[in-house]
Chains A and B, each alone.
Chain A
C-alpha cells in the first residue's frame, strides 16, 4: 500500500467527516460536540466548543439564522434540532469571556470599513493575528444592523459584553466617519488604499457605486465568492454588501469577515489566495448516518420565548440529536468493534505497521485477527473492505519475513495434513474411466461429518449419470487467509492438476469456502454448490422421512458466499421441502456475519473469535442451521444448538446439535484419514492397512481439553513419548513419579507429563513453546 492508495482508502471511510450541521454551518460550529456536552450536563464544555468558532457568542447564540438546520440529519425524520436554542442555553449558563491572546504585533495595517458583524469579525481575526486594524464606522456604535433587532430578542448588554473583547486587541475605532467615495483625502476610499496595506469593505447595504471598483452584471461590486477579492488587489468586500439586504444572515456575515481576514493574511504573506479553501464556507458533508429504526419525535417547543429552553427542555432536545456518525461496519463487525476505533484509523495503523523498519509492530495482531469476511464492504457507504486490506497486509508481512511464525503455523500444518497422503484423493467413480462431475466435500466437511460425505457420494453416484469422481483435499483457503500466496498457488495448482487428470469435470462442493476459492481463483473450473444441485435434482429419499422432529431453524448464511443469492434460495428451498420452518436472522444473506473461523481468526485470536461467535449465536434462541460444517461446529462449540444441513438430510440421530458432536483438532484429522481409508476399502475395494501408532496413549478428557486449547495434537504427544521411550531421554518428578519429556518435531517444542500403565501411557499434562533450547 503506497501513500496514494492509503489516502484513497482513508477517503472511503467517511466516519471523520463532519455531521451535516457542522458542514452546513458557515463557521463550522461543532454542534454534535456541543450537544454531547449538554447531554453530560457540561455546559462549560458546550460553550467552549461554541466560542472556539464564534467570535461574538452572546449575539450569535440569540440571532443566528441557523443554516445548519437545513443540513441536519434529523430533518429527514421529523424536525431538525433546535441548534440555536441549545447554543443559547450553553452561553447563558456558563459564559464568562476568556482573555484573548493575540500573536505578536506585525507591522502591517488593515482598514475595515463598517463595524457590522462582518467587519468586526474581520477586525477580530486579523487583530488576533497581530495586524494593526482601524475600523471606520459611519455611526457612533458597533454592530451595524444587529442594532435593528429588538431589545427583547437581543438585549443591549449582550452586545456590549461581546464587543468588550476589542478592549484586549490592537484595534482602533473611528466613529462617525463616512469614507468618501470621491477625492483622495485620508478619509476617502483612495486615501485608505494608500495608507493601509489592505482594506475590507463591510459597509452593509449602503450605496456602493462610485467606489471605482469593477461591478458585476447586476450592478453590484464584483466579489470573488471564495476569496472575497474585488477588482482592486488590496480591497476585499463581504457581508450584506455582497449578499444584499433581503435576509438577515448574521452567521454568514461572520463567515465573510473570517474569509476576508484569511485572504488578507495570505495577501500579506504573499501566499496563494485560492489554495485549499473548498471547505471554508458551508459545504455538503458526505458523512453517512443510518436513520433506520429511529422513531419520530418532534422538536421540544420553546415555551418561554424570552428566556428560551430550561435545562430540562434543552436536555430533551439534545436527546433528539442523532450525534451523527457512520460506524456502520463497526456496528456490524465484532472484530472492528473490539479494537475500539474505525477503519479510517485502522487503515493508517496497517499502513504504519507495514512501514516500520525497526521497532515494534503493534498492529500485527489486529491485522491477523480479521475474518476477511467482506461484511464491512457490504455495509460501508464507501465500500471500504478491511478484509482486503488485512489480507494484503498479511501477504506483505509474509513476503518480508515479518509474519509472526506462531500466527498461522498450526492452521497451515492442518492444511498440509489435508493435502497430504493421509487425506488427499482423486478417483473416478468405481467402474468408470471418465467423470462428468467431481464431488469435493472439502477438508472441514470431511472432518466434521465423514459419514455424511460417504452417504452423499453414494447418493450422487446413484443419481447422476456419466460418472461422479471423488476428490478429497483442501482448497488452500488457510494459505490464502494466512497471506501465504506461494503456498496457496501451489496448493491450488496441485488440485488443478488432479482435476485435469480426471478430465476437468464440473466440481460439486459442499463447502462454501472451497466454492469461493475455486470461483475466484480458477476461472476455467466450473463449480457448483451441492445445495443448488440438490435443490434441482431432488433430495435423498431418506431426507423426507427424517427422524428430526419437524421444527424451526434459523439459517446462518456463510460469509464466503454472501453474494450467492441462488445458493441462499436453494438452502431455504431444501429446508422447505424437508418441512422445516425457517427463521431469518437479523444479519443474513449478503449481510451475513462470519462464524468466527474466516481469516483463521479462531487460531490467531481465540478471544475475539469467541466474541464473534457469541454475538452471532445470541441473535436468536432458535436452533441454527448452517450449510458449512465449520460454521456449525463453531456455534455448537460455544453452546448453541446448531445443525449442519447434511446431517438433516440424512437424519443422523447421533447428532445432538450441541458441543458433543464437535470434533477436536486431532479428531478432525483422524476423521479425514479414516474417511479416506474406508472409502478406498468400501468404494474401490482396495486393501488398506490401518496405521500403527508408535505408542498407545490414554488421554483423559480434562487433558484433551487442555491440549485443544493449546493446539497440541494427540499426534504431537505420541511423538514426544515415542521419542523419550526410544532414546531414554526423559526426566522424572521424584515425588509424583511422573515422567516429563520434550521433543521438537519442527518449530514447536512439546512437553508431556506422563506415566506408564499396562495398556499404554497415561498423559497427565502437555504444554509447548516455540523458543528453541540450544543447550
Chain B
C-alpha cells in the first residue's frame, strides 16, 4: 500500500465519526466527467483530495482539458 493511501486511511469524517474508505467519485471539468476512486465518507459522501493529487495529477488533467 502506498504512502498516500496509508495517510488517507487516517482521515475521519467529523460529522459521521467514521474513517474514510475508498469509494467511487465522479469528477468533472470543462464538460468532461470521469469516475475515479477516492477516499470518502461511506455515510455522507464527503470526499478527501490530498494536496499531492490536487497539485499533481489533477492539475495536469485540468491543463490538458483546457487546451482541448
- Bound-state CA distance A405–B26 (Å) is 20
Does the CB pair B26–A771 fall under 8 Å?
Answer: no
- Bound-state CA distance A728–B61 (Å) is 30
Does the CB pair B14–A773 fall under 8 Å?
Answer: no
- B49 contacts chain A at the CB level, 8 A cutoff: yes
Which chain A residues border B67 with CB–CB below 8 Å?
360-362, 364-365, 404
In the complex, which residue of chain B has the Cβ closest to the Cβ of A362?
Answer: B67
- A94 contacts chain B at the CB level, 8 A cutoff: no
Which chain A residues border B68 with CB–CB below 8 Å?
359-361
- Binary CB contact string for chain A from 711 to 752 against chain B (1 if under 8 A, 0 otherwise): 000000000000000001111111100011010000000010
A769/B10 contact (C-beta < 8 A), A774-B28, A774-B33 known? no
Does the CB pair A740–B48 fall under 8 Å?
Answer: yes
- From A406, A731, A768, B48 is in contact (CB under 8 Å) with A731
Chain B residues bordering chain A, tally (CB within 8 A): 34
| Interface-centre pick from A731, A732, A739, A774 (highest chain B CB count, 10 A) | A731
Does the CB pair B29–A770 fall under 8 Å?
Answer: yes
- A208 contacts chain B at the CB level, 8 A cutoff: no
Which chain B residues border A365 with CB–CB below 8 Å?
67
Closest chain A CB from B5 CB (angstroms): 14
- A17 contacts chain B at the CB level, 8 A cutoff: no
Does the CB pair A772–B28 fall under 8 Å?
Answer: yes
Does the CB pair A773–B49 fall under 8 Å?
Answer: yes
- Bound-state CA distance A773–B30 (Å) is 13
- Binary CB contact string for chain B from 30 to 44 against chain A (1 if under 8 A, 0 otherwise): 100100000001001
In the complex, which residue of chain B has the Cβ closest to the Cβ of A773?
Answer: B47
- Bound-state CA distance A361–B28 (Å) is 20
In the complex, which residue of chain B has the Cβ closest to the Cβ of A765?
Answer: B51
- From A728, A767, A775, B26 is in contact (CB under 8 Å) with A775
Does the CB pair B46–A767 fall under 8 Å?
Answer: no
Which chain B residues border A773 with CB–CB below 8 Å?
25-27, 47, 49
Which chain A residues border B14 with CB–CB below 8 Å?
728, 730-732, 739
Does the CB pair A734–B46 fall under 8 Å?
Answer: no
- Bound-state CA distance A729–B45 (Å) is 10
- Bound-state CA distance A361–B26 (Å) is 26
Which chain B residues border A404 with CB–CB below 8 Å?
63, 66-67
A364/B54 contact (C-beta < 8 A), A730-B14, A734-B10 known? no
Does the CB pair A731–B62 fall under 8 Å?
Answer: no
Does the CB pair A768–B47 fall under 8 Å?
Answer: no
Closest chain A CB from B67 CB (angstroms): 5
- B3 contacts chain A at the CB level, 8 A cutoff: no
Does the CB pair A769–B66 fall under 8 Å?
Answer: no
Does the CB pair B54–A767 fall under 8 Å?
Answer: yes
Chain A residues bordering chain B, tally (CB within 8 A): 32
In the complex, which residue of chain A has the Cβ closest to the Cβ of B54?
Answer: A769
Which chain B residues border A769 with CB–CB below 8 Å?
49, 54-55, 58-59, 62
Closest chain A CB from B17 CB (angstroms): 10
- From A740, A751, A775, B25 is in contact (CB under 8 Å) with A775
| Interface-centre pick from A407, A771, A775 (highest chain B CB count, 10 A) | A771
Does the CB pair A772–B10 fall under 8 Å?
Answer: no
- From B15, B59, B62, B66, A364 is in contact (CB under 8 Å) with B66
In the complex, which residue of chain B has the Cβ closest to the Cβ of A768?
Answer: B54
Does the CB pair B28–A733 fall under 8 Å?
Answer: no
Does the CB pair B58–A775 fall under 8 Å?
Answer: no
- Bound-state CA distance A362–B68 (Å) is 9
| Interface-centre pick from B48, B55, B59, B67 (highest chain A CB count, 10 A) | B67
Closest chain A CB from B4 CB (angstroms): 13
A733/B66 contact (C-beta < 8 A), A405-B30, A771-B27, A772-B28 known? no
Which chain A residues border B28 with CB–CB below 8 Å?
771-772, 774
Closest chain B CB from A136 CB (angstroms): 65
**B2-31, CB < 8 A from A:** 10-15, 19-20, 25-30
- From B12, B15, B45, B62, A775 is in contact (CB under 8 Å) with B45
A733/B13 contact (C-beta < 8 A), A742-B49, A768-B54, A772-B28 known? no
- Bound-state CA distance A275–B47 (Å) is 69
In the complex, which residue of chain B has the Cβ closest to the Cβ of A728?
Answer: B15
Does the CB pair B11–A733 fall under 8 Å?
Answer: yes
Which chain A residues border B49 with CB–CB below 8 Å?
742, 751, 769, 773
- From A364, A729, A734, A742, B11 is in contact (CB under 8 Å) with A734
Which chain B residues border A775 with CB–CB below 8 Å?
25-26, 45, 47
- Bound-state CA distance A770–B54 (Å) is 9
Which chain A residues border B13 with CB–CB below 8 Å?
731
Which chain B residues border A360 with CB–CB below 8 Å?
64, 67-68
Closest chain B CB from A244 CB (angstroms): 63
- Bound-state CA distance A771–B30 (Å) is 8
Which chain A residues border B55 with CB–CB below 8 Å?
767, 769
Does the CB pair A735–B10 fall under 8 Å?
Answer: yes
A732/B33 contact (C-beta < 8 A), A404-B67, A740-B48, A773-B49 known? no
Does the CB pair A751–B51 fall under 8 Å?
Answer: yes
Closest chain B CB from A474 CB (angstroms): 26
- Bound-state CA distance A769–B29 (Å) is 10
In the complex, which residue of chain B has the Cβ closest to the Cβ of A731?
Answer: B11
- Bound-state CA distance A733–B41 (Å) is 13
Does the CB pair A772–B51 fall under 8 Å?
Answer: no
In the complex, which residue of chain A has the Cβ closest to the Cβ of B11?
Answer: A731
Does the CB pair A774–B10 fall under 8 Å?
Answer: no
Which chain A residues border B59 with CB–CB below 8 Å?
769
Which chain A residues border B61 with CB–CB below 8 Å?
771
Which chain A residues border B45 with CB–CB below 8 Å?
775
Does the CB pair B51–A767 fall under 8 Å?
Answer: yes
Does the CB pair B46–A731 fall under 8 Å?
Answer: yes
Which chain B residues border A739 with CB–CB below 8 Å?
14
Closest chain B CB from A300 CB (angstroms): 52
- Bound-state CA distance A238–B12 (Å) is 92
Which chain A residues border B64 with CB–CB below 8 Å?
360
Does the CB pair A772–B12 fall under 8 Å?
Answer: no
Pairs A-B, 8 closest by C-beta atoms: A404-B66, A774-B26, A769-B54, A771-B29, A734-B10, A361-B67, A728-B15, A772-B28
B→A interface (CB under 8 Å) = 10-15, 19-20, 25-30, 33, 41, 44-49, 51, 54-55, 58-59, 61-64, 66-68
> Knowing that A728-B14, A771-B27 are A-B contacts, what are 5 other residue pairs whose CB atoms are under 8 Å apart, sorted by A's residue number?
A359-B68, A731-B12, A751-B54, A768-B54, A770-B29
Name 9 interchain pairs, CB-CB below 8 A, sorted by A.
A405-B30, A728-B15, A730-B46, A731-B20, A769-B54, A772-B28, A773-B26, A774-B28, A775-B47
